[in-house]
Structure 1
Amino acid sequence: MTKALAQDVLIVAAAPTESATIPTPSEGAGTPGALLLVGGIGADGKLAEAYQDSTVDVVAPGVDVESLGINGSGTVNMSGSQYAVAFVAGQASLVRSAYPTLNAAQVKHRIEATAERMGAAPPDHQYGWGMIKPAAAVSATVEGEASATATGGSGGGGLARTVAIVVVVFILLAAIALLLLRARRWARGSDLAAGELEESGPPPGSARDETASQRQTGDDAAEPAVGGQRR
């Protein structure tokens, strides 16, 4: 990693967890390369792992990520930082392809600057700069960035690069959209469960149930009797 950082390479890696004992590489002063530490996140906003405080730079989908099963046997939902790292690494490739004149540090800055903010003022101690936004990373104007123009190149190579960027951006956006959809379903399911519990009334034997029974018994006792029988 040290050699890669010395060659203007952007290293995308998982943020260290609280139990990690292996030292995490760091950017030395004047190092051409850059290090981007990623945390996985789920639809409910919870992190995939217990990361060390203030080590996450950005977050990406990393919980219940849909993937192919072994030997192509259907799909399975998988979780872990490695899935979030894959999303961000793909985004970094898109940015470097769209802006070939940017160095590693500038690519890292663009990814962080275009992320959707989460938590407190960025960088948040849990979510860093927030959830990645691939489309914004290749199209937005970033404040404080030296003049950079997106290029598709020329000839067939430029067309192929443009098509590849569009395809990968679409895949990344679809994955993030799926995460947001699951978040809405999770929230709606919680609301419905709370409503059903409220409508079902107190469980038998509870304090509220006993109070209601006592009230009903009192009403029956107060009802006048006619001909030795209650009406």
Structure 2
Amino acid sequence: MADGSEGVSEDSPGLSTDRGRLRRAFRDRDAFEHLLDRTVANSRFTIAVVFPITGAALLLASAEGLLPDPLAFDPYLVLFGVAVMRLPLISGLAPLIDRRAAGALSALVAYSYVIEYVGATTGVPYGEFSYDVPLGPMLFDTIPVGLPVFFIPLALNSYLLCLLLLGDRADLAALRIPVVAATVVALDVVLDPAAVALGFWSFAGSGFYGVPLSNYAGWVLSAVVAAVL
């Protein structure tokens, strides 16, 4: 180069090492977990601050009509942002996933699709609602394919928070399950009215900031199922 500096070729040791790590990560679970942990550790500020603030700004701008149509409520931007903010949860739980846990997660994914489809087509148990903004590809033209990205972290974070707060008392299902359900509903009291205000979905009936009480009753059911699984 004219200024005397050296370019970085595709065969440079740094790039070769990175490619090797990626290949190992896709072949070896321990390598994948290590790579994920390192990525999260090196990106804590970006994940915890930059993405939430940027996401909130884009959503508000979309709701106010300040963004052009290709960007306003872009479902893939929403899914990407949410997925990135889920990385710390995935990183923390990855070492704990065995066959039993994988089976429970699979059952929870299936449940999230079934209960959302039933809710969207019958109004039970959440109340009559409709998606006003498609959150990515829609399954049966009714519910988002990416639904578990939103549903499962809500349930898992509530469950983990209760384990942390309850300590040894969390072993008592009669205490753990109601506390998990109450935590999920408390979070939904904040999240659902915000989603309705932004225009993601709407309910047929009136209620707390446009959200009927039946929605929270439905979330009690979903939280109990998640806690049991």
Q: TM-score of the superposition, structure 2-length normalised?
A: 0.28
Q: TM-score of the superposition, structure 1-length normalised?
A: 0.28
1 or 2, which has the higher strand percentage?
Answer: 1
1 or 2, which has the higher helix percentage?
Answer: 2
Structure with greater Cα Rg:
1
Task: Choose between structure 1 and 2 for higher RCO, CA contacts under 8 A separated by at least 6 residues.
Answer: 2
